[in-house]
Structure 1
């Protein structure tokens, strides 16, 4: 498994394990410092991928501090948004959209189903289910969206609205089309 995915899985596991015990979501999380004084970064300072990864680590730390108390990771939040915006989406299609293995989506769905946020509905094919948010899932998603919006505003506060739009457009150009 690539190191990046391993790091993310470890962080998600720590967040899930710590969430019920937390009183303040920011008090117990380690801080991430993208630049440490006295360290020579050499060629790393010239690499786009390294800069994106360092920004991602910083953003993920803030996301975890903001939403960890809800046991929501970026992947789980994205899954809820996709299902909410695409009622009836299949598990297989959700896995494709998320860029993760179908087994990973099944684990996410199982978790949401147990929490009463999502339900599987028969699609007519015994091997496939259509996914729908429950009323509680819709309610919780709205709460999560507010927290994520606050998080996003905080991590991008140094950028103007135009710069935020430009950054999203530029990052989109970095996505490699497999076709």
Structure 2
């Protein structure tokens, strides 16, 4: 299990997405700016909710992907997550040291198949519950239909690689 670190409420910096009295000019009209501000606000709540477990959105996503795709390679995981392979290796190293994940040989010395351990599966269930509570909190002002619509609209913003 990743080390648990103490996070005092005073250490969590609240993000205010809109400060009264500030002229945002063109920024108010930019979709990317609105998405980024929302992401910063959501990330702040995620950190406050799961920081005690030393779990970031990237680490959580990695565990979910490995759990649901047993035997996935580190290279494929990096591709799925859209991050550098070296960053995935660091994440995997952390989880392996914590006993949450294991690498298994694939026949190719350069490639490993990734699997969650029983402890990894147990911890992931705990993390999932905390993430669900976080997600409910940050989207509490939206109806279920609006949540689905927002996810669909955000999906439309994902551009194909050039």
Task: Give the TM-score band, short-chain normalised.
Answer: over 0.9
* 3-state secondary structure, aligned to 2:104: strand
Give 2:5's match in structure 1, choosing from 3, 20, 26: 20
Name the TM-score, length of structure 2 as normaliser. 0.96
Flag the structure with more relative contact order, 1 or 2, with Cα contacts below 8 A and sequence separation at least 6: 2
Measure, in 2, the Cα distance between the counterparts of 1:20 and 1:53: 27
Contact 2:5/2:51, CA 8 A, preserved across alignment? no
Task: String of CA shifts for 1:16-49, please: whole Å, max 9, x gaps.
Answer: 9xx6232x5x442011000111100010000000
1:76 aligns to 2:75 (yes or no)? no
- Aligned residues, how many? 161
The offset of 1:177, in angstroms, is 1.1
User: Structure 2 regions of 5+ residues with no counterpart?
Assistant: none
CA deviation profile, 1:79-133 (whole Å, cap 9, x unmatched): 0000000000000000000000100000000000000000000001000000000
Q: Distance in 2 between matches of 1:27 and 1:71?
A: 17
RMSD (Å) for aligned C-alpha atoms: 1.5
Moved over 4 A (4+): none
